[in-house]
Amino acid sequence: MSVEKQIQEILERRVNRFVKAGQSKELLDKVGKEAVSQVVKRTRLGQGVRPPGGGAASKLLPLKDITKKYRSRYSNNLSPFTRDSRSNLTATGQLLDSITYRILNGTKSKIIQLFFKDNRTYELNGGRARVRNDKLAGHVQKQGRSFFYLAQFEIKKIRSIIFDALDKL
Amino acid sequence: MATWQRIKIPVRKDLSKIQRKAVGLEIIQHIRKRTSEGRDKHGNPWKGKAGEYSKSYRNSLDFKIAKGGSSTVNLELSSEMMNSIEILSNKKGELTIGFDKNNSELNGKVEGNRLGTYGNSSPIRGKKRDFLGIERAKLKEIQDKYDFKSTDRQKVKERIDRINSILG
């Protein structure tokens, strides 16, 4: 289940009968921002979530020695949110920084879609970017570092934010 | 080995199971919110050393990633701990809330905060951050929200439905 589906399930199964999610752009924005923030923060802390999502977060696979060496060689270009040997899907930082959300019209209700902006411009070695952010995300997930899902506690946090927001509506 | 982190909360005996569940969910919501504001189980700001993060922690990469420049002690790094509190039992006159018995890592983290041990065999003086509890006045306020006698019956029903659907 994608992040988009996970959020849609919360909205359609739990929220829409109290307030059509589409009626409150403010609410959808809150949920979108929180989902992005959770995925980015948790991944940078070195935790992934196995598909289909909804389970516990778990440590991302450690980096291979050859990757550590490569990162160490270009450590001046590393994002301040990582270290040579830290496995947190952050090298230049562009991949996670590119995650954002948009609100789309679905058949039943509005949909919050998380996606990767195509703003990758350079690689860790300083050369021009050779791969788009969405392709890179797919690649790292195929390698066993899945992160683009919501963990159980993240779903709970989003539900809690929705409840508070509805209380104020 | 950490002990199972949970608290028993006495609630009114005339509340039904579904009312108690709503009260429990609202208590958990309150604990999360109060802790995120840097307050303990009595509603008071953390005192002394407990009110600030240690220098080594503030200088850590995890802190930089999760908290940026914020210095409020809110027990949230990934926010997993504060979003893992659940209703463990729902009996007439009593609710138990706390953490999954089988998650020893999480219980260890919670115990470290509540006792101030943080991985040590004995507590670090002044570092205890006990967040698991409910103020007496707040408990009354929450129970009143779900009491058919003290509030509009229809409103109570709607609130029970809403909280159980969204948070339950």
| A30-59 pLDDT tens trace | 999 999 999 999 999 999 999 999 999 999
Say what the pLDDT of residue B62 is: 95
B54-57, Cβ contacts within 8 angstroms, sequence gap of 24 or more: none
Neighbouring residues of A61: CB distance < 8 A, sequence distance ≥ 6: A87, A143, A144, A145
Write the residue in B33, B61, B166 that is nearest to A14 by C-beta: B166
Q: How far apart are CA B35 and CA A95, in angstroms?
A: 32
- By the 8 A CB rule, do B30 and A160 touch? no
The strand pairing partners of A101, in sequence order, are A114
Q: Of the candidates A137, A58, A146, A71, which has an alpha carbon nearest to the alpha carbon of residue A100?
A: A137
Say what the pLDDT of residue A168 is: 78
Q: How far apart are CA B125 and CA B117, in angstroms?
A: 9
Say what the pLDDT of residue A26 is: 87
CA distance A25 to chain B (A): 18
CA distance B58 to chain A (A): 14
Count CA atoms closer than 13 A to B104's CA, side-chain side.
Answer: 3
Say what the pLDDT of residue A20 is: 64
Say what the pLDDT of residue A21 is: 54
B78 contacts A45? CB cut-off 8 A: yes
Spell out a b/e string for B103-125, using b for 16 or more CB atoms within 10 Å of the CB, else e: beebbbbbbbbbbbbbeeeeebe
Interface size A-B, in CB pairs within 8 Å, comes to 60
Write the residue in A17, A47, A83 that is nearest to B61 by C-beta: A83
Count of structural domains within chain A: 1
A86 contacts B61? CB cut-off 8 A: yes
ipTM for the predicted complex: 0.92
A82 neighbourhood in chain B, CB within 8 Å: 61
Say what the pLDDT of residue A14 is: 86
B80 neighbourhood in chain A, CB within 8 Å: 57, 151, 153
A160 neighbourhood in chain B, CB within 8 Å: 29, 32, 83, 167
Q: Provide the whole-model pTM.
A: 0.93
Low-confidence ranges of chain A (pLDDT < 70): 20-23
Low-confidence ranges of chain B (pLDDT < 50): none
Q: Which domain holds residue A153?
A: 3-168
